Amino acid sequence: MSSSRDAQALVQRVFASLAPPDATLCWRDDVTAVVTVGAEQEGFSIDLEDRPEDLKFKAADRLQSIIIEATRSMVPICPLHPGQHPLSSGVVNGAAIWRCPKTGTSISEVN
């Protein structure tokens, strides 16, 4: 992953798949994202040297934590155990995925 624009587009997609409608993501510089959800604001950095799947996984993990903390809701919902826990992200066979933290079942790719 070399272009910061590509990396930012990738993070933006992950953000769109997780965030509530009133949340925003903007960039303080090429590698620093700032997420605003309601009254909460939190930043995180990306590494342009990361492979796309690692970038996605790290962005998914970070964005998920920020959104869960700000909204006190479980995102993404685990379809196997709704109401019990959110999915957790990981990298399997070169792809960033969401999986059930209880059974380890892969549910979907991180968008």
The reply on whether position 79 binds Zn ion by CB under 5 A is: no
SS (H, E, C) the chain: CCCHHHHHHHHHHHHHHHCCCCCEEEEEECCEEEEEECCEEEEEECCCCCCHHHHHHHHHHHHHHHHHHHHCCCCCECCCCCCCCECEEEEECCEEEEECCCCCCEEEECC
Specify the residue, 13 or 81, whose C-beta has the smaller distance to Zn ion: 81
Give the angle subtended at the CA of 4 by the CAs of 13 and 41, to the nearest 5°. 60
| Listed ranges 31-39, 46-54, 63-71, 94-102: which one lies at the site for Zn ion (CB under 5 A) | 94-102
| Listed ranges 31-39, 42-50, 54-62, 102-110: which one lies at the site for Zn ion (CB under 5 A) | 102-110
The reply on whether position 78 binds Zn ion by CB under 5 A is: yes
Specify the residue, 74 or 95, whose C-beta has the smaller distance to Zn ion: 74
The reply on whether position 13 binds Zn ion by CB under 5 A is: no
Min separation Cβ 49 and Zn ion, Å: 33
Please give the residue ranges that form the binding site for Zn ion (CB under 5 A): 78, 80-81, 100, 102
